Amino acid sequence: MAQSVCKVEFFTAEIPNKVGEGALTLAALKDAGVNLVAFWGYPLGAKGKKAAIEIIPETAAGFKKIAKKAGLEVEKGVAFLIEGDDQPGAMAALLGTLAQAGINVDAVKSLRAPGGKFVAAIFVDKGDLRKAAKVLGAK
């Protein structure tokens, strides 16, 4: 099972799906002194004129104001940030634990990290946050 599970606030925004928009967004956040725990983006819709970005800042307090100054309208959510030992089936075990508790996972992002570790962000329905936190042993 995971070594560390914590509940984190994340923020989602839509930006134009154009060359350089992600770089501009990240530069604006850097200029505002924001350190990121995680960031990813992906196109929205069939034509891909918009993209969604999801951000987990190191410090969530005041992030909405900072984002607004950077030209982003963000929506806040809660996810679980997990760090653990990388081994075959590590994510299968986590997702299986949630499934056994009757919790549907809305999204998951996972990567292998240096030193034989993995990191993941797991997103569940707002109504399942408390139950998921208990099942995962979140801090």
* Chain region(s) in the chain for CATH 3.30.70.260: 10-76, 78-136
Q: In terms of pTM, does the model score above 0.85? A: yes
User: Distance between terminal CA atoms of the chain?
Assistant: 15
Q: Which residues pair with 53 in a beta bridge?
A: 13, 41
Mind listing the pLDDT tens digit for each residue in 79-97? 999 999 999 999 999 999 9
Chain-centroid distance of CA 128 in Å reads 16
**Digit-coded pLDDT (tens) for 20-57:** 999 999 999 999 999 999 999 999 987 889 999 999 99
Overall average pLDDT of the 70-74 stretch:
93
The CATH H-level superfamily of 10-76 is ACT domain (3.30.70.260)
Q: Which CATH class is domain 78-136?
A: alpha beta
d(CA 53, CA 41): 4
Average pLDDT value over all residues in the chain: 94
pLDDT at 45: 85
The per-residue pLDDT for 46 is 79
Considering the chain, what percentage of its residues have pLDDT values greater than 70?
Answer: 99
Whole-angstrom distance, CA of residue 35 vs CA of residue 26:
10
Residue type, 4: S
pLDDT, average across residues 61-70? 94
Instruction: Quickly state the pLDDT bin for 139 (edges 50, 70, 90).
Output: confident
